[in-house]
Amino acid sequence: MKNISIIGSGLSGSLLTINLIKNWKGDKLNINLIERDPQKFNTGIAYSTEEFTNLLNVRCSNMSIFPDDPDNFYNWLKKFGYTYTKNDFVPRSIFGQYIKYNFKHTIVNKPNNINFNSIFDEVIDITKTESNYKLSLQNNEDITSDLVVLAIGNISPIELDILKSSNIKNYVKSPWSEDFFKKLKLDEDILFIGSGLMFQDIILSLNERKHKGKFYSISENEYQPFVHKLYDTYPSFHEELKGKDINQIFHIVRSHVKKHTDPTTVIDSIIPYVPNIWKSLSKTDKLRFIRHLSSLWNSICHRTPESTSITIGQLLESNRLEIIKGEILKIDQQENKIKVQIFNEKKIKIELLNIDLIINCDEPEHNYKKINLPLIKNLIKSGIIQYGKESITIKTNNYNIIDENNSKLSNLVAIGPILKGELYECNSVIEIRKQTAELSNIIIKYLKKSEINKKQNKIYKNNYKNNLQHE
């Protein structure tokens, strides 16, 4: 019997499990789905929220988890009495229910040749043996697997160095902890690090709770997510981008935006081709993009529903929210308040804030050199994985992990946000459903091939023994 272990049960891990069960036609197969946080099983961080104000940032019509059934999510909503249209933005908690429903249905109806185990523990290390891997769990147990999948999802937000070194009492590293909203006082003045989608989710939840304190948001660029609008599609021009460097690509994209005036529609037309474009760029060009254009790109690509934008606008207009372009260079914990000094890009002080609480809502950490996750630290230490050259996640090739010797590990694969170094755009539902469909086929082919090789080796050994006996 072949053994597969999938580390992480968010959208990537859950959907990969569904695809493997549906597509497996071989002998006995054992699938372990390992999750360190039982509260996030099937949903991960993104879809485990119970906040009804936290909406998907993609329309209902594009949220099916099955590429060959684009209306699956919409039909599921109708089946259970929801009245959303295809153009609506549905609460993320409902989408989480949708994932759980499909996962449970798949497990209940799985064929007899598949055994499934959900394991609630943390994998802290993976050791390579001659033909497989040994997974070490936090509870000191081990699991042996023929193939391992890293589906660890997004890593907690980037933490500013000044906040790491400061002894700030009222500081929230991650706003998605279970008791965050329970502990929060509704009259506190709050400073948010970041102005993206996570910031908007939290501020909408607080606004719904009739929060009376003032909100501040600080970022180095002041970019906010663009707003979803209904526009006609724009013809893709990805062929024009082939073989071009980052400066040429920027000018070509800008020329198309000038023609259409709406950057979101233009960018949407090339998003499916981003992985190939990204792979073709030099290391220097990738670093240039990350340094100068990534924030703008993210604000255009990862947009917000119009209803969210309206609420943010109302908060700004009423002076309950202030968005600041700048950088924190000095921070002091006083008796009851936190004094924060903010500087512009020229290091000139532009604002002094006295606030009650700081919440980190910055983007997920992609530089794995900074990650404190035991599994990742141990895998890098042992050489099983290596950092991405551009300080983005780890080195992979067509889902396969590349070790420190630049060898492709056919039985150690990755999926989801961990592929950012190779694909750049890799964590939307549209991308995940494509990845899981492709990877399930790759895994099945590998396991069947290894099974054939095992049987052939067995036949060879038996024949060899028989020949020796005759001699």
Is residue 434 over pLDDT 80? yes
Distance between CA atoms of residues 264 and 92, nearest Å: 22
Residue 316 is predicted with a pLDDT of: 96
Is residue 369 over pLDDT 90? no
According to CATH, the topology of domain 159-226+303-362 is FAD/NAD(P)-binding domain (3.50.50)
Residue 177 is predicted with a pLDDT of: 64
List the chain domain ranges.
2-156+365-455, 159-226+303-362, 238-301
Architecture of domain 2-156+365-455: 3-Layer(bba) Sandwich (3.50)
| Distant-in-sequence, close-in-space partners of 45: CB < 8 Å, separation ≥ 6 | 10, 153, 154, 176
Q: How confident is the model at residue 453 (pLDDT cuts 50, 70, 90)?
A: low
Higher-pLDDT residue of 453 and 409 is: 409
Task: Quote the tokens at residue 427.
Answer: 């964590």
Is residue 462 over pLDDT 90? no
Share the mean pLDDT of the chain.
91
Is residue 194 over pLDDT 50? yes
The strand pairing partners of 352, in sequence order, are 341
Fold: same for 2-156+365-455 and 159-226+303-362: yes
232 in helix, strand or coil? coil
Distance between CA atoms of residues 149 and 252, nearest Å: 38
Nearest to 194 by CA among 212, 175, 170: 175
Phi, psi dihedral angles at 414 (to 5 degrees): -135, 155
pLDDT digits (tens, 9 = 90+) for 273-332: 999 999 999 999 999 999 999 999 999 999 999 999 999 999 999 999 999 999 998 899
Residue 118 is predicted with a pLDDT of: 97
Is residue 207 over pLDDT 80? yes
Mean per-residue pLDDT for 188-200?
Answer: 94
Mean per-residue pLDDT for 323-352?
Answer: 89
pLDDT digits (tens, 9 = 90+) for 110-169: 999 999 999 999 999 999 988 899 999 999 999 999 999 999 999 888 778 788 777 788
Proportion of the chain above pLDDT 90, given as a percent: 75
Higher-pLDDT residue of 64 and 461 is: 64
Distance between CA atoms of residues 315 and 203, nearest Å: 10
pLDDT digits (tens, 9 = 90+) for 8-40: 999 999 999 999 999 999 899 999 999 999 999
Residue 88 is predicted with a pLDDT of: 95
Residue 300 is predicted with a pLDDT of: 94
Distance between CA atoms of residues 269 and 272, nearest Å: 7
* Inter-CA distances, 119 with 34, 92, 116, 349, Å: 5, 25, 10, 51
